[in-house]
Amino acid sequence: MTDGVNWLTAEEQHAWRSFVRLHERLIGRLSHLLQTESQLASADYAVLVNLTDVPDGRQRYQDLARALEWEKSRMSHHLARMIRRGLVVREECADDGRGAFAVITEAGREAIAAAAPLHVQAVRSLFLDHLTAAELRTLAEVSVRVVGKLDEGA
């Protein structure tokens, strides 16, 4: 059953587990800070960031789901909760009766504007302040390369 498995070496396993632990703790801390300081869940923040990065603050549900690597049902349910809170609205797509756009509202823009400085400060203090400029460049290069490979397979 495990024949032919290319097991991780001790060094690879250490690097992988260290990366996973870093990711879990960092995301956990950032999520907790966002929630307590701005009443936005990390998922809310991710949606709002994506919407503020596109013209008119509008994006098709399916494109937003793809950008966040969420299933369609998760996107629909989460956007429904954000709609109830007034952070986004749903607009039907005139070109496609089955499609819809998520559009950031003024309340959504105010929420992201209030949360972003806190988030950036936390990213700096929890992560960036602990890296040298060379380490940061290497991290960016590695991240871009791995994401590129992941995108090739998508």
Q: Is there a domain that residue 70 lies in?
A: yes
Contacts of 48 (CB under 8 A, 6+ apart): 40, 87, 88, 104, 108, 111, 112, 115
Q: Is there a domain that residue 86 lies in?
A: yes
Q: Is there a domain that residue 78 lies in?
A: yes
- Number of domains within the chain: 1
Q: Is there a domain that residue 57 lies in?
A: yes
Q: Is there a domain that residue 9 lies in?
A: no
For 81-139, what is each residue's pLDDT tens digit? 999 999 999 999 877 767 899 999 999 999 999 999 999 999 999 999 999 999 999 99
Domain coverage including residue 56: 16-152
Q: Is there a domain that residue 87 lies in?
A: yes
CATH number for 143: 1.10.10.10
pLDDT at 1: 60
Q: Is there a domain that residue 2 lies in?
A: no
Q: Percent of the chain at pLDDT above 90?
A: 90
